[in-house]
Structure 1
Amino acid sequence: MTTTGTVPATPAELRRLVAAGRWTGPTAGLLDGYQQANLVVVPQDLAYDFLLYCTRNPKPCPVLAVTEPGDPTVRLGATTADLRTDLPRYRVWHHGEQVAEPTDITAYWREDAVGFLLGCSHTFEGPLRAAGVPVRYAEESAAPPVYVTNVPTRPAGRLSGPLVVSARSIPARLVPRAVEITSRYPAGHGAPVHIGDPAALGIADLGRPDFGPPPVVEPGDVPVFWACGVTPQLALPAVRAAYTITHHPGHMFVFDHTVDEGPAGLTG
């Protein structure tokens, strides 16, 4: 991970460091309270199907912003930024096969590209911590474990696939508080989709996530699962579009507004 050695004080500062190649690490745990977002970029001929997929699956895919075809600039409230350079790391697919994990997608951007920013669960971690609900992460990675479930999402056009969830271990007595707090943030996936037994989601071994580090579990903890923005990364490759681009798990876009302020307006 490339960093400057200091934690950026504002989202704008973070984006400047990212664009300069001086911050390529995860954004989890950074800038508590600011709205973070997942990225999906698809060709224009797939954009309607993807928007419909998000509309039918708002828990894993809460849409925050959509760009005009070919325009890499996202404008939402006070935030104006370039989707090609302002996330720390990306994933690029060609015809359903992953071909690169760059820190800049300028070379992969096309004239018909449509960018979507989707809400992220890192958004509600600041409010959880502020309320005294611990957010436990493995020392080697400031990110939650992420699992592919056996729960299907609602298909839309050419898109279908399983629900993906992120998990956090919450002290049993604080689970109701965690549910109450996260339900306030639908742009961060909202309330949990499941509490308790991982097997109910088809997760055979909580200690072996599909993405991210193993969970940190302390005595008296209960596993709590939220819908995750990695969900589209399983649905999109099967379409075998000429190209698709997403964020690398844990490496998000960060807006200038906090989750409690909200943006001044929702625009492309």
Structure 2
Amino acid sequence: MTKKFLVIVGPSASGKTELMNRLTRDSDLYRNVISTTTRPKRENEVDGVDYHFVNISTFDQRMQNNEFVETGRAYSSWYGTEYTSLFPNNDHRIPVMVLEPEGAETIRNKLKNHFGITVYLTASRETRVARIIERFCEGTSTLEQTSKRISQTCLELDSWEDAVNAHIKIESENESDLTDGIESINQLLTLDSQPQLELERRNKNKEGNAISKRLTQECQSILETIKLDKLKTGMGLKMFIANIDTLIQNIKTSEHSEICPSNS
């Protein structure tokens, strides 16, 4: 029997969790697939509801036992989708997963006889940086995690579209964008056969940027000295991003000089 499933992919702070929550909260049609992760549990999270939180040895053992449909690593933590979480018995709701591009491709290949829709969710860099900083101000993200996410956010936006296969793209700047996107998702899942891809993968590596580590260090240095209340304002955020843009250019120039020193 052909089963339907929905995969959401997108860069950090693009609204993936909010989209999944709205789909599963506002409709009996969808069900959240609870992933397993080695990431530390945040203060507002519940084990078995947000994620299945396990240590690295337990995760490794489950990998060896082939209990995962797919696994991936993000921000130094492992994530995986277990077979038992994907299509449990006597539950006919459409499973919804938030995955990295590589995990989405693995799911597509392993479940190619089923009806799967992949959603690519994105937002402007300013919106995403603002969301990342908001998490930091709320205490749900550490300084190191925040610096790393901001660094990747400022570097990865263009490369993400080259790294995914997706049937629909949603720009999630506000709540109404998600509402319109959900309507489009519902329409796609009523079709008798899978639609054509809107985005096709051209680059298998969505990261691969040599300057990311240096930029992360610089972001952390700025965040350690800046006043958070200034970052919450629109002007403060624009100035922060402008500083990041300058850092990127300086690091790129430095990298180029090290690789291609001038003959003097």
> Which bin holds the TM-score, normalised by the shorter protein?
under 0.3
TM-score normalised by the chain length of structure 2? 0.26
User: Could you say which structure has the higher helix fraction?
Assistant: 2
Higher Cα radius of gyration? 2
User: Could you say which structure has the higher strand fraction?
Assistant: 1
TM-score normalised by the chain length of structure 1? 0.25
Q: Greater relative contact order: 1 or 2 (C-alpha under 8 angstroms, separation 6 or more)? A: 1
